[in-house]
Structure 1
């Protein structure tokens, strides 16, 4: 009882652990999905901050060469506004990083100064402005913003890798539990088969017992091939038990079971139906083949009896063939064989 309770307690603990592992796996996967979403959004931010860096240099070159481009300036205004306030047309996300935000604020503020200088270029010519130096300084600020975004992206990627490791470990543990369940299921199935086999096994002779015999006779299907059923009954078993003891009687039963199993082909059925009763079902056979089997059994019993055992093996039998009956089932065949065996036994008693 204590062992059973202990096993049940361990099973409960394992169930709780498995449930926790599954919950942890779900949480880890959810976090990873969020991080992957952030990483994708961060990649988009990096792309646009880099685009601003390059496009601003192009705008400065156009202004210096006398090719003003207000459309490009508006484009840069829109991207910077979206990067800062996240409510523009470019679907950019907010990076939860103070270093990036500070550098973006500095870059955005400097962009206002750079635009003022661009307008001065249009009015006074670039030779009379500090557009080149301001452009170079702006490029460095934009480069710092891109670098901050990239570092933030790398941290997210590291976190994803870390969660991937945790997820892999969690999954491995779950798989171990699953394998353990699978192994336990195999063991239980094997034990159940052994128990089932034992339930249909006569432990004394090793032959199928009465329950197994009844099982094969339970079918209601008609026999379609030529089948024979033979019922055997050991003679004088009670006398042997009374005069020589039950151990000798048990040995007599065991010896007959062994000889019967040797005489009947291995593909055919041999079972112990009761204390001194045995059954053989011969499939796809003929009357001549059954006669040969009985002749072989008599030969083996004669050779055994010649060894000078304390009590000789003697038996009565009855045969029934499916070919002799129309719409015959195994139960019908068994009943006929049992009746023929009884008649045979009575005839032997009358002839003594």
Structure 2
């Protein structure tokens, strides 16, 4: 009982672990989707943040050379507004990173100052303003903003890689658990198969037991191919049991079982029908083959007895073949073979010690 409970607990534990791992995998996939969503558009933000950095320098150079470009300044205004809010017509996302937003806010505020200096340069000439120095400062601020966006992107990429590794480990654990569960199922199936085999195997002789014989006999289908049924019964088992003990009788049964299985080809059925009775079914056969098998069995038994066998083998038998009975089934052959075996046994007792045969 304890072992059974342990196995049940182990099976339940594996199922619980599988459910937990599946749940964890679902969570990891959801987190990965979120991070991918955060990463989506980050490259575009970095690209436009870098574009602002370069385009601002171009705008300042144009102002220094006396070439005004209000469209370029308006363009830079739109990009900075879109980077800050994330709802402009450039479809830029607002990065959810405090360091980036802080650098962007500083850059945007300084851009307003730089635009005011551009206006001053137009009125007084760039030589009388700080436009060049301020543009250099703005360039550094823009560079820091781009770096902050790139760092944010790298952090998201690292999170995604970590989630991928965790997902792979999770799936590996799931595969291992599935393999364990499969191994347990195969082991249980094998055990059930062995139990089923034991239910139809005679433990003492290793031959199919009475249950197997009856299952074969209960097949009600008419025999289409020539088939023979042979019944064997040991003649001297009671004498051996009475004079030498039941262990000797068991050894006699085992010896006869081994003899039957050795002489009768493997493709045919040999089973212990009960006690000292055995049954053989010879498939796709004819009278000549059956008689040849019985002759071989008799020669093998005689040879064993001549070699000083301490437990002489003596048996009665009877057989019937379906070719002699139109539309017969296995039970019909058994009944005919049993009758012939009874006659054979009665003749044996009449010849040896005049005792009445079994009823």
- Alignment TM class, shorter chain as reference: 0.7 to 0.9
Q: Distance in 1 between matches of 2:336 and 2:125?
A: 124
Q: Distance in 1 between matches of 2:341 and 2:47?
A: 97
The TM-score normalised by the length of structure 1 is 0.86
SS at match of 1:204: coil
Question: Aligned-pair distance for 1:282?
Answer: 1.9
Question: Partner of 1:98 in structure 2?
Answer: 98
Q: Distance in 1 between matches of 2:340 and 2:58?
A: 112
1:277 maps to 2:291? no
Which stretch of structure 1 is more off in the superposition, 281-290 or 261-270?
281-290
SS at match of 1:319: strand
Q: 2:62 touches 2:69 (CA, 8 Å); kept in 1?
A: yes
Q: Distance in 1 between matches of 2:279 and 2:317?
A: 9
Question: Partner of 2:164 in structure 1?
Answer: 164
Question: Partner of 2:200 in structure 1?
Answer: 200
Question: Aligned-pair distance for 1:167?
Answer: 3.0
SS at match of 1:312: coil
Q: Compared with structure 1, are the counterparts of its residues 55 and 273 closer, same or farther at alpha carbon in structure 2 (3 Å cutoff)?
A: farther
Q: Distance in 2 between matches of 1:224 and 1:119?
A: 112
1:1-352, aligned counterparts within 5 Å? 1-60=1-60, 69-118=69-118, 131-349=131-349
Q: Compared with structure 1, are the counterparts of its residues 67 and 198 closer, same or farther at alpha carbon in structure 2 (3 Å cutoff)?
A: farther
Q: Distance in 2 between matches of 1:55 and 1:258?
A: 100
Q: Compared with structure 1, are the counterparts of its residues 339 and 54 closer, same or farther at alpha carbon in structure 2 (3 Å cutoff)?
A: farther
Which stretch of structure 1 is more off in the superposition, 44-53 or 253-262?
44-53
Question: Aligned-pair distance for 1:274?
Answer: 0.8
Question: Aligned-pair distance for 1:257?
Answer: 0.5
Q: Which runs of 5+ in 1 are unaligned?
A: none
Give CA deviations for 1:103-144 in whole Å, capped at 9, x if unaligned. Answer: 101222233334445556677776776554443332222111
Q: Distance in 2 between matches of 1:335 and 1:58?
A: 113
Q: Compared with structure 1, are the counterparts of its residues 3 and 261 closer, same or farther at alpha carbon in structure 2 (3 Å cutoff)?
A: closer
Q: Distance in 2 between matches of 1:238 and 1:2?
A: 44
Which stretch of structure 1 is more off in the superposition, 96-105 or 326-335?
326-335
Q: Compared with structure 1, are the counterparts of its residues 78 and 296 closer, same or farther at alpha carbon in structure 2 (3 Å cutoff)?
A: same
Q: Distance in 1 between matches of 2:324 and 2:65?
A: 116
Q: 2:14 touches 2:181 (CA, 8 Å); kept in 1?
A: no
Q: Distance in 2 between matches of 1:68 and 1:231?
A: 119
Which stretch of structure 1 is more off in the superposition, 41-50 or 116-125?
116-125
Question: Aligned-pair distance for 1:302?
Answer: 0.3
SS at match of 1:231: strand
Question: Aligned-pair distance for 1:264?
Answer: 0.5
SS at match of 1:225: coil
Question: Aligned-pair distance for 1:265?
Answer: 0.8
SS at match of 2:274: coil
Q: Compared with structure 1, are the counterparts of its residues 342 and 131 closer, same or farther at alpha carbon in structure 2 (3 Å cutoff)?
A: farther
Question: Aligned-pair distance for 1:184?
Answer: 1.8
Question: Aligned-pair distance for 1:35?
Answer: 1.7
Which stretch of structure 1 is more off in the superposition, 194-203 or 70-79?
70-79
Q: Compared with structure 1, are the counterparts of its residues 324 and 123 closer, same or farther at alpha carbon in structure 2 (3 Å cutoff)?
A: farther
Q: Distance in 1 between matches of 2:172 and 2:314?
A: 66
SS at match of 1:273: strand
Give CA deviations for 1:145-178 in whole Å, capped at 9, x if unaligned. Answer: 0100111222222223333333333333333322
Q: Compared with structure 1, are the counterparts of its residues 295 and 104 closer, same or farther at alpha carbon in structure 2 (3 Å cutoff)?
A: same
SS at match of 2:93: coil
Question: Aligned-pair distance for 1:346?
Answer: 4.0
Question: Aligned-pair distance for 1:297?
Answer: 0.3
Q: Distance in 2 between matches of 1:146 and 1:200?
A: 80
